[in-house]
Structure 1
Amino acid sequence: MGNLSSKIEHIVVLMLENRSFDSMLGKLYPSNNTFDGLNGDESNPLQDQPDIPVWSSLATDSESMSIPTPDPGELWVDINMQLFGLNGKPGNQPPSMNGFVNNYVRQNAEPAANYKPKPIMHHYTQAQVPVISQLAKQFAVCDQWFASAPCQTWPNRFFLHTGTANGYENNSPSHFPYLMNTIFNRLNEANKHWGIYFHDFPQTLTLSNLWPHLENFHSFDDFKEDAKNGRLPAYSFIEPRYFPDVKLPNDQHPPHNVGMGEELIADVYNAVRNSPTWHKTLLIITYDEHGGCYDHVPPPTAVPPDNTNAQPFGFDRYGVRVPAVLVSPYIKQGTILRAAPNDNLPHNGPPYPFDHTSIIATVRNCFNLGGSLTNRDAVAPDLESVLNLDSPSNDGPATVTPLPYTISDSELQAALNAPLNGFQKALHEAATHLPPLALAENTENVCACIEDHIENLVNGTMAEVPNHKTPAEALPFIKDKLAAFLGK
């Protein structure tokens, strides 16, 4: 705890969408025995066909930067097939990691002919994603960071904020209200300031315990201003742009262009690096889950977060490995962070690898917030060990620059008129269930309005979700609901 509390006063987390470790950083250190990346001969079987090897396109055009297309499967049942194979079943045995291709070609959101086997085995090179690659090499990369569960986006983001998914494996069906205690509420109790900075709609607003704290929700432009003026809170959480608007999404959710996410990573780093608080800041860049993209490392077993008798899954296994890059002037250049020797993974019991609840453990220990939220973050390793310099002597580059990219009008229009992906549909539903706080006249009325709304949700009174099919249809509605909630 000493390194955390004495060196760090500000923790900033940027969580992107749906990319595996191998897909983004598998070739970061191509010939390094201390780094668990791709060696190039990995493959996955395709039923009754030759195996499909890992590969990279090398190009930086829009099509090459949007692989895999179409969107892979990410439901709990999809991930089980990806982990255990076409005919495998979950159990105590280590996952074989040989079902990614067979699962991908069985998706049905689009015509079957669109699901070619090759895209799911694709990985990006350092030349294609120079920003995250440069930061990973200049500071630290963790090659043992797993999604908290082999589940969809919402469950894994819930783990980051609450230490549990409350027994829910998928985004849908929804289970409003979500009343889990959060790390943000724990910060409130300790009078530590926090902020959630978002682009279009913050997924964190699915957590009803955050509804009374609207003053802590800000635009991403506010983040850049707060960093510039030395006003960053103790804990900042950044959400990307999930929908196309005047710009393309920058969340990197397949098949969204990963170059847009590179721009966001650069914006966040440049803001933090040039802030007066740089020498007291830890920046964590990670992804909620793998989104169906191939990774070769079997996830270990995990400690269930609570006593929820979840069916059919007990949340006793981590999800697929995801990218995690740690940035601070207290980090030695070229650090590869892990909690256990590679030959000990997967295994049962401690030492446990890093997962999203490591962020909860880090925030708790850094700001002296007391005990764990759940059994999962109780055993999660925190990030104290990554701060391996005695003084903040690794300043890194003053700025980082993403590859240039110009969005064409036709590309933006195609994105606006594309079908909503599963995550966008879930956010659309979440916006529908926000309380209309603009109707409240004062703070007391706001609290009463929230309490009444939660009681209605508990009793099953649900608003009807409009039948919007595309971002062009859904986003104006989402913005109106968010404005009514925030009182703007």
Structure 2
Amino acid sequence: MVGIKIATVAALSSLALAAPSGPNIQNHGHGHGSSWKDKIKNVVVLVEENRSFDTFAGGLSYNPSINGLLHTNYCNSMNASDPRQHDDVCAGPRANDVAPDDPNHSITGVNMQLFSTFHPSEFLADELIEWENMRGFVTEQSVSFKTLNKTRAAEAINYYTQEQIRVFGTMAENFVLFDRWFASVPGPTNPNRAYLTSGTSHGHGQNDIGFLEYALPQRSVFQQLSEYNVTWMNYQNSTTAAMTDTIPVNGFNPDAAFYEWTKTSGAYKTNIKPLEQFYADAKAGTLPQFTYLNPECCSYQSFHPPSPITLGESFIKGIYEALRNSPQWEETLFILTFDEHGGFGDHVPPPVNVPAGDALTYTEVAQDGKNATFNFKRLGVRVPTLLISPWVGKGVIEHKGTNKGGEYTHTSILGFLQELWGMDTLTPRVSYSSTFEHLITDNLRKDTPATLPDPFPYN
């Protein structure tokens, strides 16, 4: 969630592309018509912080088809520009409960991680694919923290074992794990959260002041749900931001508070509630049709360094158990994802030459002092994502998408909500993103665990 540490400048290349209007309802189910819509009455989305698939979930061992690090020798160099040092630091099951550093996850920092250069050509797709080697994470870690200590730099690519993420691992074993789900932006938190909740970041490529001032003008899913008379609530940790129209005292807003509409409509007063209210509503069976959860950031709930993994596991355990033991469980779909990779390594190259949410671009100054412009036509790094419901299969591994653009990304959630409630498409990126309604089955499972194990005892 922390902002980038380099100078930035916003650039607008043209007016935003117009989003399609009117209902866009398609059925991609496997042989049961629209009946999946009758099963899911409540959708809950929890977006955690800053973990890549490989470093968080790449050590899961319960299914050999998971595209993680157990069957991959994944190495980086301390100096990506020096071929003599190629592959001199390799990933291992040595990730710490508390990461010693918070890796760089600015747009240009991620360029180095993915391409081993701050300046890939954003406008030559074939060249981008050729350059995308995913071997600059350790180099970037070394540059950002001015260290030649391989052990310290390797923390950017080291991973957890299944035993060390008992809570997430148990959920994965019991529901659906996506191992090819990409963040929306190869950059920091708030641009990704904006894409997840509106299909675009409106040209924002860093965690700037606009996210704290209800400044984003685009139509969000929160506005869209209200227009379609679908009930919703953004529950947020009560220490994260006050439900007011002022800048939060500690610099973070719940995601619904990014948008002008949330303030002008008065929704900031009626539809943003403290996290304690979520637990009460889940217990009472009064959750709205759409629930959006913001953890605190970045000390104990969010997984964002220096948040301990163990405390993040405790948090998601509590959210799951509140839903699992709610009267609404049998009509609930729970989506757990992470907003972005946070600078942690992954060996799978993100797709390039995909539709942006609009025609706006973003420019920042890289660590070499030169400008770099990003056109939002690349996806971010893979992040761990789970689909949880009594209506999905047990231990399913979902790889590539099966419809639309063939890739899962954060805007797949918006596409799914569009299909579920017959809403229009927000942006071209939403139209591109694969949806996952085919994973909802005709079988109501009675074997879903009511409780999850306690986190791994690091100490």
Q: Under a length normalisation based on structure 1, what TM-score does the superposition of the two structures give?
A: 0.74
State the one-letter code of the partner of 1:167.
G
1:290 corresponds to which of 341, 354, 357: 341
The 1:406/1:27 distance shift into structure 2, 3 A limit, reads closer
- How far residue 271 of structure 1 moved from its aligned partner, in angstroms, is 0.6
Mapped to 1, the partners of 2:444 and 2:108 lie a distance apart of 45
Would you say the 8 A contact 2:166–2:456 is kept in 1? no
How many residues are treated as equivalent by the alignment?
386
SS at match of 2:139: helix
Would you say the 8 A contact 2:59–2:162 is kept in 1? yes
Q: Deviations over 1:452-473 (max 9, x none)?
A: xxxxxxxxxxxxxxxxxxxxxx
Whether 1:365 and 2:419 are equivalent positions in the alignment is yes
Whether 1:104 and 2:155 are equivalent positions in the alignment is no
- How far residue 118 of structure 1 moved from its aligned partner, in angstroms, is 1.6
- How far residue 393 of structure 1 moved from its aligned partner, in angstroms, is 1.5
Would you say the 8 A contact 1:107–1:115 is kept in 2? no
Q: Deviations over 1:408-435 (max 9, x none)?
A: xxxxxxxxxxxxxxxxxxxxxxxxxxxx
Whether 1:35 and 2:66 are equivalent positions in the alignment is yes
- How far residue 383 of structure 1 moved from its aligned partner, in angstroms, is 2.1
Would you say the 8 A contact 2:102–2:306 is kept in 1? yes
- Give the equivalent residue in structure 2 for 1:434: none
Whether 1:5 and 2:37 are equivalent positions in the alignment is yes
In structure 2, stretches of 5+ residues that fail to align are 1-26, 28-33, 241-252, 364-372
1:179 corresponds to which of 217, 228, 241: 217
Mapped to 1, the partners of 2:341 and 2:454 lie a distance apart of 22
Mapped to 2, the partners of 1:300 and 1:283 lie a distance apart of 26
- Give the equivalent residue in structure 2 for 1:145: 181
- Give the equivalent residue in structure 2 for 1:229: 284
1:300 corresponds to which of 327, 351, 357: 351
State the one-letter code of the partner of 1:154.
N
Q: Deviations over 1:79-105 (max 9, x none)?
A: 000000147724523211011000011
State the one-letter code of the partner of 2:225.
L
The 1:166/1:41 distance shift into structure 2, 3 A limit, reads same
Whether 1:25 and 2:85 are equivalent positions in the alignment is no
The 1:289/1:3 distance shift into structure 2, 3 A limit, reads farther
The 1:368/1:178 distance shift into structure 2, 3 A limit, reads same
State the one-letter code of the partner of 2:379.
Y
Mapped to 2, the partners of 1:129 and 1:158 lie a distance apart of 28
- How far residue 112 of structure 1 moved from its aligned partner, in angstroms, is 7.7
- How far residue 51 of structure 1 moved from its aligned partner, in angstroms, is 1.4
SS at match of 2:164: coil
SS at match of 2:291: strand
Mapped to 2, the partners of 1:394 and 1:138 lie a distance apart of 12
Mapped to 1, the partners of 2:183 and 2:458 lie a distance apart of 32
State the one-letter code of the partner of 2:307.
H
- How far residue 173 of structure 1 moved from its aligned partner, in angstroms, is 6.2
- Give the equivalent residue in structure 1 for 2:93: 56
Whether 1:76 and 2:114 are equivalent positions in the alignment is no
Mapped to 2, the partners of 1:185 and 1:231 lie a distance apart of 21
Higher relative contact order (CA 8 A, sep 6+): 2
Mapped to 1, the partners of 2:230 and 2:312 lie a distance apart of 29
State the one-letter code of the partner of 1:27.
G
**Range 207-216 or range 76-85, more displaced:** 207-216
State the one-letter code of the partner of 2:46.
L
Aligned Cα root-mean-square deviation (Å) = 2.4
SS at match of 1:178: coil
- Give the equivalent residue in structure 2 for 1:430: none
- Give the equivalent residue in structure 1 for 2:201: 165
SS at match of 2:327: coil
SS at match of 2:355: coil
The 1:119/1:203 distance shift into structure 2, 3 A limit, reads same
The 1:404/1:136 distance shift into structure 2, 3 A limit, reads closer
Alignment of 1:111-260 (within 5 A): 116-172=152-208, 174=210, 176=213, 177-199=215-237, 200-201=239-240, 202-204=253-255, 205-211=257-263, 212-213=266-267, 214-243=269-298, 248-260=299-311
Mapped to 2, the partners of 1:362 and 1:31 lie a distance apart of 26
% identity of equivalent residues: 32
Whether 1:269 and 2:320 are equivalent positions in the alignment is yes
Whether 1:353 and 2:391 are equivalent positions in the alignment is no
In structure 1, stretches of 5+ residues that fail to align are 59-63, 342-348, 408-488
- How far residue 111 of structure 1 moved from its aligned partner, in angstroms, is 7.7
- How far residue 269 of structure 1 moved from its aligned partner, in angstroms, is 0.6
**Range 185-194 or range 37-46, more displaced:** 37-46
**Of Structure 1 and Structure 2, which has the larger fraction of its residues in helix?**
1
Mapped to 1, the partners of 2:155 and 2:400 lie a distance apart of 31
State the one-letter code of the partner of 1:209.
W
Would you say the 8 A contact 2:164–2:456 is kept in 1? no
Mapped to 1, the partners of 2:202 and 2:219 lie a distance apart of 10
The 1:365/1:81 distance shift into structure 2, 3 A limit, reads same
The 1:113/1:37 distance shift into structure 2, 3 A limit, reads closer
The 1:156/1:3 distance shift into structure 2, 3 A limit, reads farther
State the one-letter code of the partner of 1:368.
G
- How far residue 336 of structure 1 moved from its aligned partner, in angstroms, is 1.0
Whether 1:338 and 2:393 are equivalent positions in the alignment is no
Q: Under a length normalisation based on structure 2, what TM-score does the superposition of the two structures give?
A: 0.79
Would you say the 8 A contact 1:4–1:365 is kept in 2? no
Mapped to 1, the partners of 2:208 and 2:148 lie a distance apart of 23
The 1:4/1:377 distance shift into structure 2, 3 A limit, reads farther
Would you say the 8 A contact 1:70–1:115 is kept in 2? no
State the one-letter code of the partner of 1:249.
Y
- How far residue 113 of structure 1 moved from its aligned partner, in angstroms, is 6.7
Whether 1:385 and 2:422 are equivalent positions in the alignment is no
Mapped to 2, the partners of 1:194 and 1:124 lie a distance apart of 35
